[in-house]
Structure 1
Amino acid sequence: MLASACAPGDHPTDPPAVTSAPTTTASMAVQVSPAPKQGRLVTDPVEWDPCFQVPDSVIEQLGFDPKTRQRGDWFDIEYTFLGCKFERRSVTLGMDTRDGILRIMSGSISLDQVRTKETTEFSVNIGSRDGVRWDDHEHCTVAMTGPDGVIYVSVDSSGNLSGWSGCDHLEEQSRAVESILPK
């Protein structure tokens, strides 16, 4: 994936400031913190924040628990990904287990930049948007054009005990996210 795990403040010139929360937010059972400050060389900051703009109803529709909403941003000096992750849980063999993780990210890079970095992808259309998909066992991702550059929808169901395969549902999950994106 084309992202660095650097957080704000990891670069000596980046102050640990935060941006303000978006003015339009979806209905959410759990509140998350506003996105941290974006990289100092990001020329087009990400404004569509999935942590604030993906409603609980969409997350529930996809079989994930909106109460597990957590911020999951990735930053670099030149690009930003604002993201959110959610868990899918079940009782398997009498134990409460995690079946999968859904991540939705809005990035400041273009789909063409993704295509140059991901070598095992194939083209997909998600609703009216161009995209690419790549799979790695039980972790798979769709990247599609988005309001600020690219939207990633990824699911990881590795290590689950229930047999649920997130990759079997990735394009359905991506279409649900695409349906709420600004046109």
Structure 2
Amino acid sequence: MRRIRNILLALLVIVIAPVATSCSSGSDNPHHPAGSDQATSSTATQSARPTLTSPKLQPPSQDNKYTASTGRPKIVFDPCTWISDETIQKAGFDGTSRERGKDLIAEYSFLVCHFSSQMRDLSVLSGNATWEEDLRKVGSYSEPITVNGREALLVHDPDTHRGCQVDLRTKVGFVQIAVDLTTRAPQTLNPCDGITDIASTIEPEIGKDN
């Protein structure tokens, strides 16, 4: 079962718990493949680059009374509409499994997308919690790395034995690339095997300006 990583929830729960029900927006509707249909999106991310246009994939507005009170920058990179099927397939996942997760638009905001394969599920989260806030939460059990020249963390969560994640620094916060082993995966499979390759494949989709 796909899920938002525990470490992300730990980062957010103190601040957003009182308001998450009223201000978060998301959907678990299955994806109908958008194929090669691409156009310039006019969504709340105000992206200047082509994005997937399936209505079921579009991100929610980042304008509400909670986001307005924080002064945090809007998230630009939306994983569900910016990452191509080709990139997801190169990373080892099924592009047609693309599914928008439960986006969180609050004091901290995160846009969420899920993908799957036989052995692993993939979640990509793009948020505006700062890199410094992420470091305070996970730095004690993370290994600093670089991914295609981008500052990153390989997170070894001691409470997670079937999952692994890489956090990539962005101008507005960070992108989290998290994998979880499925029930079909052998118990001997290390969830961190190959995760830096997955991150390296996905990272260019964030864009050099983000």
| Structure 1 residue aligned with 2:75 | 46
Is it true that 1:179 corresponds to 2:204 in the alignment? yes
Question: TM-score scaled to structure 2, two decimals?
Answer: 0.68
| Structure 2 residue aligned with 1:93 | none
| Structure 2 residue aligned with 1:62 | 91
TM-superposition CA deviations, 1:35-60 (whole Å, max 9, x none)? 12336235211121010100001100
Residue of structure 1 aligned with 2:150, choices 124, 129, 141: 129
SS at match of 1:176: helix
| Structure 2 residue aligned with 1:94 | none
1:85-104 residue pairs with structure 2 within 5 A? 85-89=114-118, 99-104=119-124
C-alpha displacement of 1:164:
5.2
Q: Residue type matched to 1:56 in 2?
A: D
| Cα distance in 2 for residues equivalent to 1:85 and 1:52 | 12
Is it true that 1:145 corresponds to 2:165 in the alignment? no
**Identity of paired residues, percent?**
21
C-alpha displacement of 1:84:
0.8
CA, structure 1 residues 71+25, in 2 after alignment: closer, same or farther (shift >3 Å)? farther
| Cα distance in 2 for residues equivalent to 1:165 and 1:25 | 36
| Cα distance in 2 for residues equivalent to 1:158 and 1:15 | 27
| Cα distance in 1 for residues equivalent to 2:116 and 2:88 | 10
SS at match of 2:205: coil
Would you say the 8 A contact 1:139–1:154 is kept in 2?
Answer: yes
Unaligned runs of at least 5 residues, structure 2: 1-6, 27-41
Is it true that 1:170 corresponds to 2:181 in the alignment? no
Q: Residue type matched to 1:82 in 2?
A: L
Q: Alignment length, in residue pairs?
A: 169
| Structure 2 residue aligned with 1:114 | 134
CA, structure 1 residues 120+87, in 2 after alignment: closer, same or farther (shift >3 Å)? same
| Cα distance in 1 for residues equivalent to 2:178 and 2:154 | 9
Question: TM-score scaled to structure 1, two decimals?
Answer: 0.77
C-alpha displacement of 1:160:
2.6
C-alpha displacement of 1:107:
0.7
Q: Residue type matched to 2:80 in 1?
A: C
Would you say the 8 A contact 1:35–1:73 is kept in 2?
Answer: no
> Aligned-residue CA RMSD in angstroms?
3.0
C-alpha displacement of 1:116:
0.4
| Cα distance in 2 for residues equivalent to 1:164 and 1:63 | 15
Larger % of helix: which?
A: 2
